[in-house]
Structure 1
Amino acid sequence: MNNRILIIQTAFLGDALLTLPLIQYVKTINKKNIIDVVCIPSTKEIFKASSSVNSVFVLEKRGKHKSLKSFLSFAKELKKNSYTKIISPHRSFRTSLLVWFLNVKEAVGFDKSSMSFIYSKKITHNWSDHEVLRNLKLADFSGSDWRIKPDISIPENTKEKIKRLITENNLDKFIMIAPGSVWNTKAYPIELYRIVVEYFIGKDFKVVLTGGKNEFEICGLLGKDFNDKVINFSGKLSIIESIEFMKYSKILICNDSAPTHMGMAADISVLTVYCSTVPSFGFYPYNEKSRYLSYDELKCKPCGIHGKQSCPINTFECAYKLTPGTIIDTAVKMIS
């Protein structure tokens, strides 16, 4: 039987990447499953690059689908696809409302979802699980080998572009650092990252800085005065191009943010630095070659699930107690 399944994930980039293993698993259950995805504009590129996805429908919840009328019109168009099943890793009110409007007989979501009564099948959302495993359980996964890599199809012209950029910038030996985050308390301080940069430059590495367009300025501050030893690619590459670029790096050092999960898609060594959040939330790098660092001897940590725009007690000790030396020592061991 051919099932047409809708996956709803309208959260940020990191969440989108960690939804890919679920989609891939659903496809392996039955190769004939037709899987569509509802996502936001900024993550469309990710789902379109998955060979397991049939169609991608973009919900512009802050744009043209913001009003109830336009939202209902979006749902009406989706309903024409006659889905046999909905799986929703996203737990928001808007997502549950969309599930309700679509009125599909089998709808699977988490017990902690907004309006969870709408779902015909509710799965326990367990914070002790990794996000990949939590999502896989929505498809009745019960095995132990949950560490499925997000699979991204890279076009040949993209591969050639990245090879050309690496040659043009003489990147024979380099590391990558992604210093940005949507939440300020998840971002390791720039002055401490600079110490890490200084060390690797002293060891004849070049440093490539990566991030979105809104992180170009912070990457500029990190790379200031290092001349051509530090190259700022923030905002200059697409998500897919950035993932391909990562494959040539000796290591990616980043915060608890989307680049961690991009590194999993690239299947490289990732060192994730935790400040106000903790690995036990389930968003740590999970391939064998990766590691994470977190200073946990603080009563105030974690101060929130997503981080905050500023430290609630104005100390930011969760970052400053984690020394650049610790990051350098760990990174060197990982590279060697």
Structure 2
Amino acid sequence: MSTAPPSAVLLIQTAFIGDVILATALLDHLHQTEPDTPVDFLVRKGNESLLQQHPHVRQVLVWDKKNSKYQGLWRLLQQIRAAHYGRVITLQRFASTGFLTAFSGAPERIGFQKNPFAFRFTRALPHVIEGGVHEVSRNLNLLDPEYRGPVVPPRLYPSPTDEAAAAPYTTQGPYLCIAPTSVWFTKQFPQDQWVKLLAALPTHYRVYLLGGPPDVEACEELLRASNRPNTVNLAGKLSLLASAVLMRGAVLNYVNDSAPMHLCSAVGAPTCAVYCSTVPYFGFGPLSPFARVVEIQGILRCRPCGLHGYRQCPLNHFHCAYGIETSQLLVVLAEAELQAASCKPQALSYKL
């Protein structure tokens, strides 16, 4: 007697790059627990390259939020309903993706309780930002409310093309990567702080500045301000996955609490995450085998000032960033050098 194939699953995450990267932990979990279940993934336009070559994704759906946003949302709903998914899971707490989930026609419609359309979900879970629970665990609980396993890192799969694009930069001797920008000002270590670090880094390291096309000018300004020899601006020159390949081979990657940190986690790249206004306690911290968080020492009463970053410091002093010492960043480099020599991974631990 033949058995009907399992109904497909649709995962929805149309937020920023880092959110999509963290969601890839669900893809590996589904592949391990339900290897025959087809999985599709809906992302915002611009993030599809992260998943188009992913071995555990059948199809990538794309929502263009910048052009005919709501017409596109309606067309997506028709596409989703026509696909007859068995489960639709939104990882976001916003009305738009809640709408797609609630009216998808899927027998199982899953999301967080804070979503405005949660009343039409078949299962709605709390999104708990306390106790150091990592976002990966929050997401995995949508798949399995009883999941209490390890906080598995996200995982991306660079293609041979991505590997080839990064290869010319990995053979120039030992190198470091710095991803100096962020979408949010208060998540971004200031330029003059990066300049101090660049001046203090050992001269035998080549330094690559990384970012997307919007970050080209900021990285060029940093390059001019530092005037450090053996420093190269690669912003806008590598794809996200090629950048991940480059970061994987670095002695250390200096990043903000932003997408490049999650890229590091997804390929196991050594990470020094600089936290300004936000804190790892929110559950978005690095998950690489070697990962260190650098933040201002001591208590700053105004920190954290919110779950997400701001366009400017609410108190106009930004002491959470300017209070970080260059020596703190150099200590992590020394640890990374020892780690590379010993090849004994150490991981940050998170509570479940």
Which whole-Å CA distance do the structure 2 matches of 1:93 and 1:28 have between them? 31
CA deviation map 1:219-263 (0-9, x unaligned): 112222535511000111111111111121101011100000000
Write the mapping of 1:306-325 to structure 2, written as runs, cut at 5 A. Answer: 306-325=308-327
Aligned to 2:240: 239
Q: Which amino acid aligns with 1:290?
A: A
Deviation string for 1:197-230 (max 9, x for gaps)? Answer: 112243x111111011111111112222535511
Give distance in 2, aligned partners of 1:44 and 1:38: 8
1:205 aligns to what? 205
Letter in 2 for 1:199: A
Partner of 2:46: helix, strand, or coil? Answer: helix
Is residue 16 of structure 2 the alignment partner of residue 3 of structure 1?
no
RMSD, matched Cα: 1.6
Match of 1:248 in 2: 249
Aligned partners of 1:234, 1:83: CA distance in 2, in Å?
A: 39
**Counterpart Cα distance in 2 of 1:217 and 1:240:** 21
Match of 1:86 in 2: 88
Of all paired residues, the percent bearing the same amino acid is 28
What letter corresponds to residue 36 of structure 1 in structure 2?
D
Aligned to 1:59: 63
Q: Distance in 1 between matches of 2:190 and 2:337?
A: 23
User: Does the residue aligned with 2:273 lie in a helix, a strand or coil?
Assistant: strand
Look up the equivalent residue of 1:233 and give its one-letter code: L
Report what 2:349 is aligned to.
Answer: none
How far apart, in 2, do the equivalents of 1:266 and 1:14 lie? 13
Q: How far, CA to CA, are the matches of 1:298 and 1:31 in structure 2?
A: 47
**Alpha-carbon separation, structure 1, partners of 2:179 and 2:161:** 24
What residue identity is the alignment partner of 1:209?
Answer: L
Amino acid corresponding to residue 159 of structure 1 in structure 2:
E
1:155 corresponds to:
159
1:87 Cα offset (Å): 1.1
TM-score under structure 1 length normalisation? 0.93
Within 2, Cα distance between the matches of 1:144 and 1:120?
22
Q: Tell me which amino acid in the other structure corresponds to 1:297.
A: I
Give the deviation of 1:119 after TM superposition: 1.2
TM (norm. structure 2) is 0.89
1:165 maps to a residue whose letter is: Y
Any conservation in 2 of the 1:152–1:265 contact (CA below 8 Å)? yes
Q: For the Cα contact (< 8 Å) 2:184–2:309, is it kept in 1?
A: yes
- CA 14–262 in structure 1, closer or farther in 2 if over 3 Å, else same: same
Distance in 2 separating the partners of 1:123 and 1:100? 15
> 1:111 touches 1:123 (CA, 8 Å); kept in 2?
yes
Partners of 2:83 and 2:59 in 1: how far apart?
A: 11
Query: Mapping of 1:36-47 within 5 angstroms?
Result: 36-47=40-51
Contact 1:132-1:146 within 8 A present in 2 as well: no
Report the counterpart of residue 134 of structure 2 in structure 1.
Answer: 130
Distance in 1 between residues matched to 2:287 and 2:25, nearest whole Å = 12
- Give the aligned partner of residue 116 of structure 1: 118
SS at structure 2 position matched to 1:154: coil
Amino acid across the alignment from 1:208: Y
How far apart, in 2, do the equivalents of 1:72 and 1:156 lie?
Answer: 36
More moved, 246-255 vs 226-235:
226-235
In structure 2, distance between residues paired with 1:297 and 1:47: 40
Question: In terms of mean alpha carbon deviation, does 214-223 or 276-285 score higher?
Answer: 214-223
Q: Does the CA-based 8 Å contact 1:201-1:229 persist in structure 2?
A: no
Instruction: Indicate how the Cα distance of structure 1 residues 141 and 51 shifts in structure 2: closer, same or farther if over 3 A, else same.
Output: farther
Contact 1:18 1:132 in 2 (8 A): yes
Contact 2:141–2:147 (CA under 8 A) maintained in structure 1:
no
Return the alpha-carbon distance in structure 1 between the equivalents of residues 42 and 139 of structure 2. Answer: 16
Contact 2:266 2:288 survives alignment (8 Å): no
Unaligned runs of 5+ in 1: none
Give the match's secondary structure for 2:197. Answer: helix
SS of residue matched to 1:86: strand
Quick check: 2:129–2:283 contact (8 Å CA) kept in 1?
yes
Aligned 8 A contact 1:6 1:37 in 2: yes
Which deviations, in whole Å up to 9, do the C-alpha atoms of 1:16-59 show, x marking residues without a partner? 00000012212221111110111111210112132111000101
* Residue 143 of structure 1, CA deviation: 4.8
1:67-107 per-position Cα deviation (integer Å, ceiling 9, x unaligned) = 3x442222112211110111111111101111123132211
Matching residue of 1:226 = 227
Q: Does 1:24 align with 2:25?
A: no
